Amino acid sequence: MRKYIISHREGIDGLVLQDDAAIPELRGPTDIKIRIKYLSLNARDLQIVSNDYPAPHDVPQDCVPVSDGCGIVEAVGEEVTLFKVGDKVAPVFPQGHHYEEDLALRTLKRGLGGAIDGVAADYFVCDQEDAVHIPSNFDCLQGSTLPVGFTTAWSSLFSHHPRLQAGQTVLCLGTGGVSLCAAQIALSAGARVILTSSSQTKLDKVSKLLKEQLPPRAPQNAIQTIDYSKIDDWDVEARKLNGGKGVDIVIEIAGRATLARSIRSTKQGGLVAISGYMSDYKPIPDHLIQEDLAKVILYSAANVRGVFVCNREDFKTAVSALEMGGVKPIIDKVFKFEDLKEAYRYMEAGRHIGKVCIEL
Ligand SMILES: NC(=O)c1ccc[n+]([C@@H]2O[C@H](COP(=O)([O-])OP(=O)(O)OC[C@H]3O[C@@H](n4cnc5c(N)ncnc54)[C@H](OP(=O)(O)O)[C@@H]3O)[C@@H](O)[C@H]2O)c1
């Protein structure tokens, strides 16, 4: 079978395609063998190949890259009860993360495509407890966007307290994978969203795509946008767009350059759900680095919480909610498997909105 390996971690050229790898066999009676059909990329995949991933574990030599994939069950062990041959499934990114509220180190050490082999291969074998059915109205391309982007978005909105309620407002930073997944979940749950981006073109495109999925009688202001390349005080603008009040939840993926403003955008008792730190890749002005976050948090009285994907039970609930809400993932571009490096480069350039996928 074909598979990629990470031969070195000095950049995207470390990805090497092999076409004579052995097809993995079931290792035990509860294993399933998945014929992988599509992959999707996350910022983590780039961080791993460029040695920028601050994981508390080693990345094994020749690890198979990419955490997110979807495919069709091709074989099942004799004790498998959850899946049958032909089912469309996605492996869970942190294998073994089934019920606990937060990710434990032992399951982080079983993260696909970084701690253990990922899914950039024709076949993937895992225990039945380490995969989920995708929504029945998703194809495998759409299913490939689930394991990290949608689970992190779900977790930010629903896995911890305070949780999103209908009628509330969610501020989503940027137009990448996690933020757009969160915007889609929030809208389908009856919330309003405010999206920020460095590009008005991206905002126009995203607004149009999101509006197509809105219920027919949704209000005009269900989707609002801020171009943060033009509006420096986007926290003030976010409050203005939210009727002068702080928002209920912020999907905080940018880190040091944005955190203080994210907190100031939030109402007292609201939630700033931090899952990423994209601003680390560009120079950050000194005044932002020097800001006293303790005081910002104290005077805002917001909850500031780290979020790491979600467990398998929550993943299944998210799948059900996406199915019921008729949510369709926003997919920017689909590359061929042999062009995986190009897909990484496209993502690195930051030109995408939503998800970048690969067809096997
Ligand atoms: N904790 C977890 O479980 C978890 C899970 C998934 C991802 N993450 C982290 O979350 C972050 C996003 O991941 P992703 O896969 O969604 O990445 P992605 O698809 O590459 O999206 C990145 C987005 O970040 C935005 N961005 C960059 N700098 C920004 C800034 N200063 N202010 C606002 N937005 C900014 C960009 O938006 P514009 O181009 O529109 O400006 C870009 O679209 C990464 O740091 C990743 O490591 C964490």
Cα 279 to ligand 1 centroid, rounded to whole Å = 8
How far apart CA 61 and CA 272 sit, in angstroms, is: 36
Cα 177 to ligand 1 centroid, rounded to whole Å = 7
Cα 202 to ligand 1 centroid, rounded to whole Å = 14
Q: Which residues have any ligand 1 atom within 6 Å of their CB?
A: 42-44, 148, 152, 173-178, 196-199, 202, 228, 253-254, 257-258, 275-279, 307-309, 347, 350
List own/partner pairs for 207-215 with CB under 8 A and 24 or more apart.
Answer: 209/330, 209/353, 209/354, 210/180, 210/183, 210/184, 210/330, 213/184, 213/187, 213/188, 213/326, 213/327, 213/328, 214/187
Indicate which atom in ligand 1 lies nearest the CA of residue 202. 40
According to CATH, the superfamily of the domain at 3-146+311-359 is Medium-chain alcohol dehydrogenases, catalytic domain (3.90.180.10)
3-state secondary structure of 305: strand
CB 171, CB 262: distance < 8 Å:
yes
Fold exhibited by the domain 161-306:
Rossmann fold (3.40.50)
Q: Where are the domains of the chain?
A: 3-146+311-359, 161-306
Which runs of E-coded beta strand occur in the chain? 3-6, 15-18, 31-40, 68-76, 88-91, 123-127, 131-133, 169-172, 192-197, 223-227, 247-252, 266-274, 303-306, 331-336, 355-359
Q: How many residues does the chain have?
A: 360
User: Going residue by residue through the chain (360 aa), what tens digit of pLDDT does each one get?
Assistant: 999 999 999 999 999 999 999 999 999 999 999 999 999 999 999 999 999 998 888 999 999 999 999 999 999 999 999 999 999 999 999 999 999 999 999 999 999 999 999 999 999 999 999 999 999 999 999 999 999 999 999 999 999 999 999 999 999 999 999 999 999 999 999 999 999 999 999 999 999 999 998 988 889 899 999 999 999 999 999 999 999 999 999 999 999 999 999 999 999 999 999 999 999 888 999 999 999 999 999 999 999 999 999 999 999 999 999 999 999 999 999 999 999 999 999 999 999 999 999 999
Cα 252 to ligand 1 centroid, rounded to whole Å = 8
Atom 9 (ligand 1) nearest CA: 276
> What are 86-131's pLDDT values in tens digits?
999 999 999 999 999 999 999 999 999 999 999 999 999 999 999 9
The alpha carbon of residue 120 and the mean position of all alpha carbons in its chain are separated, in whole angstroms, by 17
The alpha carbon of residue 223 and the mean position of all alpha carbons in its chain are separated, in whole angstroms, by 20
Cα 253 to ligand 1 centroid, rounded to whole Å = 5
Q: How many CA atoms lie within 13 A of 120 on its CB side?
A: 32
Q: What is the token pair recorded at 266?
A: 């939030």
Atom 24 (ligand 1) nearest CA: 174
> What are 206-259's pLDDT values in tens digits?
999 999 989 888 898 999 999 999 999 999 999 999 999 999 999 999 999 999
Cα 157 to ligand 1 centroid, rounded to whole Å = 16
Atom 36 (ligand 1) nearest CA: 174
Atom 21 (ligand 1) nearest CA: 176
Atom 18 (ligand 1) nearest CA: 176
Q: What is the token pair recorded at 347?
A: 């993502």
Cα 276 to ligand 1 centroid, rounded to whole Å = 6
Taking alpha carbons only, the member of 60, 80, 116, 18 closest to residue 340 is 18
Cα 83 to ligand 1 centroid, rounded to whole Å = 33
- Judged on CB neighbours under 10 Å (0-12, 13-18, 19+), 56 is exposed
Atom 2 (ligand 1) nearest CA: 308
CB 47, CB 65: distance < 8 Å:
no
Atom 3 (ligand 1) nearest CA: 308
Instruction: Report CA Rg, the chain.
Output: 20
